[in-house]
């Protein structure tokens, strides 16, 4: 009887082997089967559901959890509702996540768990006399939320847990940099908020958060260079948070310089972002910069007639994105071969046979 990748994931979840060992075993199996030898994988590991059965089960779980919370609201207060939600999702995870290994139901359950535990923590912080909207309250909520999500990840190994842990991390950074409220985000000019030259606390916060989320994602990536296990899937969600925070802050600062210098800095920034995305093999960083690429192209397409400039912009931008998406692997191989050796290069996803 042969072992499958699901068997290895189940063994890792049961503690028989760890995720790194599961990744190495899967890589060895792929190499022996000739899969890696026939060509490099072009897709980043990303999975929301394995089939319609998971969608069906997820809908059922949402209905069950929703009805349970309605009953809890009728007989109890915030304490019963929030902890009840977290406990129910944790208990359901022992079957749907640990035993059935279902992807979308696991995402639903970890989302419900984070909602419940977050609500309880916010309520508890208010009860002990720390203002939930104060800097200290936000930092405390974020730190406790991160701890709760790390506990969930340690138990269930759901990659999406890292995305939610990252959002709690964002609260911590904003709590330390203070001053920015939801009202400011909607009333202030976003270009000013993201401009580091203006000394904006929001820009500083997004830069710090982006760096921390990226380092956490890279930590996972370096432990699964062939991207066959949960480490790489966890890194995907962290990079999804890091990319817009880093790219928008840096590129908006460059773009706001205005004039020829601003355009030059933006082009240089886009080039560096593209190379960086190719090196670590994460398309999310390049995707985050598409708006600035569109702005650069639009500035060069000075036709004077909107009915011509907009379609031309879409044509050129679409051609660039399609080219990068189609020849991503070939471009990465050429770039990695051209670069000299640097620390960690051999631990990045392979770029040659």
- Structure-token match 């580091």, residue found: 196
In this prediction, residue 39 carries a pLDDT of 45
* CA distances for 336 relative to 254, 331, 352, angstroms: 27, 9, 9
Helices (H) and strands (E) in the chain, counts: 16, 0
What proportion of the chain, given as a percentage, has pLDDT over 70?
84
- Please give the Cα distance from 157 to 154 (Å, whole number): 6
Which residues have CB under 8 Å from 242's CB, separation 6+?
Answer: 166, 209, 210, 211, 213, 214, 217, 284, 285
Chain segment 199-257, per-residue pLDDT in tens: 777 888 889 999 999 999 999 988 888 777 788 889 999 999 999 999 988 888 888 88
Chain segment 29-50, per-residue pLDDT in tens: 765 554 444 444 556 666 787 7
Average pLDDT over all residues of the chain: 82
Among 303, 291, 311, 280, CA closest to 244:
291
Among 238, 326, 353, 334, CA closest to 278:
334
DSSP character string of 16-51: SS-HHHHHHHHHHHHHHHTTTTT----S----S-SS
Mean pLDDT confidence for 110-138? 84
């Amino acid at each position: 009887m042969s072992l499958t990748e699901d068997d290895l994931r189940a063994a890792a979840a049961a503690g028989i082997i760890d995720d790194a060992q599961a990744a190495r075993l899967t890589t060895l199996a792929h190499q022996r089967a000739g899969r890696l030898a026939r060509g490099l994988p072009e897709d980043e590991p990303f999975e929301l559901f394995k089939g319609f059965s998971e969608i069906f089960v997820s809908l059922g779980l949402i209905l069950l959890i929703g009805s349970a919370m309605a009953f809890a609201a009728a007989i109890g207060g915030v304490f019963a509702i929030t902890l009840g939600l977290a406990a129910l999702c944790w208990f359901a995870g022992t079957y749907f996540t640990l035993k059935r290994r279902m992807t979308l139901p696991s995402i639903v359950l970890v989302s419900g768990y984070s909602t419940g535990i977050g609500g309880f923590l916010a309520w508890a912080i208010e009860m002990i006399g720390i203002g939930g909207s104060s800097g200290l309250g936000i930092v405390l909520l974020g730190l406790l939320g991160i701890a709760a999500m790390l506990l969930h990840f340690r138990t269930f190994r759901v990659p999406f847990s890292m995305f939610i842990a990252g959002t709690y991390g964002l609260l911590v950074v904003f709590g330390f940099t203070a001053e920015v409220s939801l009202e400011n985000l909607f009333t202030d000019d976003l270009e000013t908020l993201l401009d580091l030259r203006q000394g904006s606390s929001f820009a500083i916060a997004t830069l710090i958060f982006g760096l921390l989320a990226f380092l956490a994602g890279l930590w996972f990536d370096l432990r699964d260079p062939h991207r066959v296990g949960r480490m790489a899937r966890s890194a995907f969600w962290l990079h999804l948070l890091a990319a817009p925070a880093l790219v928008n802050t840096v590129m908006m600062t460059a773009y706001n310089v205005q004039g020829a210098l601003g355009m030059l800095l933006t082009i240089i920034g886009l080039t560096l972002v593209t190379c960086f995305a190719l090196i670590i093999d994460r398309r999310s960083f390049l995707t985050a910069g598409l708006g600035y690429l569109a702005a650069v192209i639009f500035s060069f397409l000075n036709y004077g007639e909107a009915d011509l400039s907009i379609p031309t912009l879409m044509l050129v931008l679409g051609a660039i994105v399609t080219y990068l998406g189609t020849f991503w692997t070939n471009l990465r191989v050429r770039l990695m071969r051209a670069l000299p050796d640097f620390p960690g290069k051999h631990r990045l996803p392979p770029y040659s046979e």
